[in-house]
Structure 1
Amino acid sequence: MKYVIAIIGLLVVLGLALLASNNKKQVRYRPIILMIVIQIILAALLLNTEFGLIFIKWIANIFVKLLDYAQQGISFVFGGIANKGESPFFLNVLLPIVFISVLIGIFQYLRILPLIMRGIGFVLSKVNGMGKLESYNAVASLMVGQSEVFITVKKQLSHLPAHRLYTLCASAMSTVSMSIVGAYMTMIQPKYVVTALILNLFGGFIISSIINPYRVDSKEDILEIQEEEKQSFFEMLGEYILDGFKVAIIVGAMLIGFVALMAAINNVFSLFFGISFQQILGYIFSPFAFLMGIPGSEMVKAGGIMATKLVTNEFVAMIDLTKIQASFSPRSLGIISVFLVSFANFSSIGIIAGAVKGLSEKQGNTVARFGLKLLYGATLVSVLSAIIVSFVL
């Protein structure tokens, strides 16, 4: 039965993408089918095999070690602030972002990261039937983040037509930055974080190639990567340390605002209607939870978590999930966890449009105009990844 629901869910997601397509006749189905098959194989490999277990354990151990190193710096500065036995979210989840940001900076400085991004992007371009620029951008979004990625392609940004710009922005919203992957792993199981990262990479191309189909002329398919200004090693360290700290502060501030706002709205709705706002959203999103393979008894709670992620952000949703995870079956928990690992939320529209506008005002305005369509597509990517996982769990 789970396979029937998953197939129906898959068809619904592809149908919803087709509904919003710019040009239904131009959609190329062969690369889409190929990428869906690759997604299912990779999900099965990562979640159901000994190799997958070893690989994910290796990735998880790296991040555990990195978080341990980060804690040494945090303890030096903030030691004694937390009571013994307590685990403050800001100290243990957000501040390690600073150290991971530094590592990304070092790999960028040594030109290792650009080499990896170009290599994987080139291989992806052979599979997805899209341009080298789009393929590179998807990998770069995963490595350096949804706003920083546009700096690396700023030479071409102002010359891109709207349809190619959409694909670049869709990739940025569908993936997550490596700098905060460690933070996710403190809240949900690492195997689902790693699986979601890989599935979203392909899912972004699948949904974009339906909503926004086009062909790139080989003469136009030129990848020009903007090299960062040459800095000394310690200048670079200082910049990435501050960037990491800014991200931690911004995420912390957004959590304070969104969690407080959600609590206030829930209280008002409970007072006047006898049901919380999240419960109402849960009912609205429950059909999608069902299509993702969540059983009927759990789909309203799952829908509430999904809606929370959309209207606030993935951190707020993950915090809520940790509070009620005991009420979900292991399979449902895995499906929801995969859904949550992406930047598909309303605030990301502003972040991406702002990042592009900082480099090209005209293109920033273009992004703002298709912002809701961008969010629609990125949300379908999250649902698609969750459905693919439902096949193998």
Structure 2
Amino acid sequence: MKILIFIVGLIVVYLLALLVSSDRKKIKYRPIIVMIIIELILSYIFLSTKFGEAIAKGLSDFFASLLATAGAGINFVFGGLANKGEAPFFLTVLLPIIFVAIIIGILQYFKILPLVIRGIGWLLSKVNGLGKLESYNAVAAAIVGQGEVFITVKDQLSQLPKKRLYTLCASSMSTVSMSIVGSYMKMIEPKYVVTAIVLNLFSGFIIIHIINPYTVSQEEDILEINEAKKESFFEMLTEYILLGFKMAVIIAAMLIGFVALMAAINNIFTYFFHISFQQILGYIFSPLAFIMGVPAHEAVQAGNIMATKVVTNEFVAMIDLTHIQQHLSSRTVGIISVFLVSFANFSSIGNIAGATKGISDKQGNVVASFGLRLLYGATLVSVLSAVIVSVVL
């Protein structure tokens, strides 16, 4: 039964992507099949082997130590603010982003990250059937951030045709920034975070091949990375500290706004229709949850979490998942956890359009024009990754 649902899930994802394909005749099936096989192997390694468990535990311990170290600075400034034995979400989950941002800044400053990004991007380009720029961008977005990645390719960005621009934006929405991975790991199991990050790279390329097929000629396959402006070490530290704080505050503001708005909408629907808005969304998304491998009796609850993520953001959905996961099977928790690890939500359309518009006004308008198609594709990326892991859970 598990294998049957997996096959049905793959077919449904393919058909949903095919519905909005820009050129069905140009779809390259060989790299798609190769990447699905790679995803299945990686899912098995990360979720069903001691080696995979060791990798997930190692990364979890690493981020836990980073967050613990960040706690020293947080306690110095906010010590005593929280009640004994009870720490606010902002202090324990969001503010540590500042310290993680500093680590990323240091690795960038000493040119360690660019080397890693180029290396992984080069390897990906050998199997994904896309160009070097697309491969680099997908890896870079997962490390330096959704908006910041466009700065590193700003000279090429203004000259890219619409199809390649879509691919870069889709990659940015399908991945997550390394600076907030530690925060995710405080809400869902680290092994699912690690698995989702890796799978989303390949799932993103697969969906792009179907929705947005094209061929990059050898002359076009050029990667030009813009070096960061020359600055002193302490200037860089200041910049990344402020960047980390800005991210934490923006996420906090979005959580306050989205959670309050969702509560208000739920109250209105409950008062007039005796059913909450989230419950309605749960029914709408439940078929997707089912083809992802979620048991039928838990599909509505899972669909509720999925819809919350798309309509609000992944943090709100993860918080909701922590509240009900004790009532769900471990299989459902694993599948939904993998689905949640991405930036596929409505607010990301504005983030990406704003980031590209800041570099090229024309390209920003182009991105805004295909915003909904971008979100549709990125959501399918999350669904595909969840379908893949359902085989090994």
**TM-score where L is the length of structure 1:** 1.00
Which residue of the partner structure matches residue 292 of structure 1? 292
Partner residue of 2:381?
A: 381
Counterparts in 2 of 1:94-243, with a 5 A limit?
94-243=94-243
Query: What is the alpha-carbon distance in structure 1 between the residues aligned to residue 210 and residue 299 of structure 2?
Result: 28
SS at match of 1:130: coil
CA distance in 2 between partners of 1:250 and 1:135 (Å): 28
What is the CA–CA distance in structure 1 between the aligned matches of 2:2 and 2:306, rounded to whole Å? 20
Does residue 273 (structure 1) correspond to residue 273 (structure 2)? The answer is yes
Task: In structure 1, give the amino acid aligned to 2:208.
Answer: S
Q: How far off its partner does 1:191 sit? A: 0.3
Amino acid at match of 1:63: F
Shift of 1:18: 1.2
- 3-state DSSP of counterpart to 1:64: helix
RMSD: 0.5
Q: Secondary structure at the match of 1:153?
A: helix
Q: State the Cα deviation string for residues 142-199 of structure 1 (Å, max 9, x = none).
A: 0001100000000101110000000000000000000000000000000000000000
Instruction: Establish whether residue 320 from structure 1 lines up as the match of residue 331 from structure 2.
Output: no
CA distance in 2, matches of 1:377, 1:361: 24
Deviation at 1:302, TM superposition (A): 0.4
In structure 2, C-alpha distance between the alignment counterparts of 1:386 and 1:241, rounded to whole Å: 34
CA distance in 1, matches of 2:3, 2:345: 29
Q: Distance in 1 between matches of 2:36 and 2:371?
A: 26
Equivalent residue, structure 1, for 2:67: 67
Secondary structure of the structure 1 residue equivalent to 2:342 = coil
Distance 1:85 1:211 in 2: 49
Q: What SS does structure 1 have at the residue aligned with 2:391?
A: helix
Shift in Å at residue 44 of structure 1?
0.4
| Aligned counterparts of 1:42 and 1:329: Cα–Cα separation in 2 | 23
Q: 4+ runs of 1 displaced by more than 2 Å?
A: none
1:152 alignment partner AA: T
Unaligned runs of 5+ residues in structure 1 are none
Partner of residue 334, structure 1:
334
Q: How far is the alpha carbon of 1:220 from its aligned partner? A: 0.9
Partner of residue 77, structure 1: 77
Residue type matched to 1:60 in 2? S
Q: d(CA) in 2 for partners of 1:82 and 1:225?
A: 44
Separation in 1 of the partners of 2:363 and 2:166?
10
Quote how far apart the aligned CAs of 1:15 are.
Answer: 1.1
1:264 matched to which residue of 2? 264
Report the alpha carbon displacement of residue 87 of structure 1 after superposing the two structures with TM: 2.2
Q: Which amino acid aligns with 2:247?
A: V
Aligned to 1:218, what secondary structure does the other structure show? coil
Q: Which residue of 1 aligns with 2:360?
A: 360
Aligned with 2:297: secondary structure? coil
Amino acid in the other structure paired with 1:149: V
Contiguous gaps of at least 5 residues in structure 2:
none
* Counterpart residue identity of residue 46, structure 2: L
Q: 2:255 aligns to what SS in structure 1?
A: helix
Quote the offset at 1:379 in angstroms: 0.1
* Shift of residue 100, structure 1, vs aligned partner: 0.2
CA distance in 1, matches of 2:231, 2:301: 50
* SS of equivalent to 2:21: coil
Q: Number of residue pairs matched?
A: 393
- Opposite residue 328 of structure 1, the aligned amino acid is L
Aligned to 1:17: 17
SS in 2 for 1:392: coil
Question: Aligned-pair distance for 1:2?
Answer: 1.1
Q: Give the corresponding residue for 2:43.
A: 43
SS at match of 2:168: helix
Work out the CA distance in 1 between the residues paired with 2:392 and 2:10.
Answer: 14
Structure 2 CA distance for aligned equivalents of residues 26 and 83 of structure 1: 60
The alignment partner of 1:55 has SS state of helix
Aligned to 1:87: 87
Secondary structure at the counterpart of residue 296 of structure 2? coil
For each residue in 1:277-311, what CA deviation from the matched residue of structure 2 results, as whole angstroms up to 9, or x when unmatched?
00000000000000011111111010000000000
Q: Deviations over 1:23-67 (max 9, x none)?
A: 000000000000000001000000000100111111111001001
Deviation at 1:276, TM superposition (A): 0.5
What does the per-residue CA deviation read over 1:346-391, in whole Å, with 9 as the maximum and x for residues that have no partner?
0000000000000000000000000000000000000000000001
CA deviations 1:92-144 (Å, max 9, x no partner) are 00000000000000000000000001010011000001000000000000000
Give the aligned residue type for 1:390: S
Letter in 2 for 1:193: V
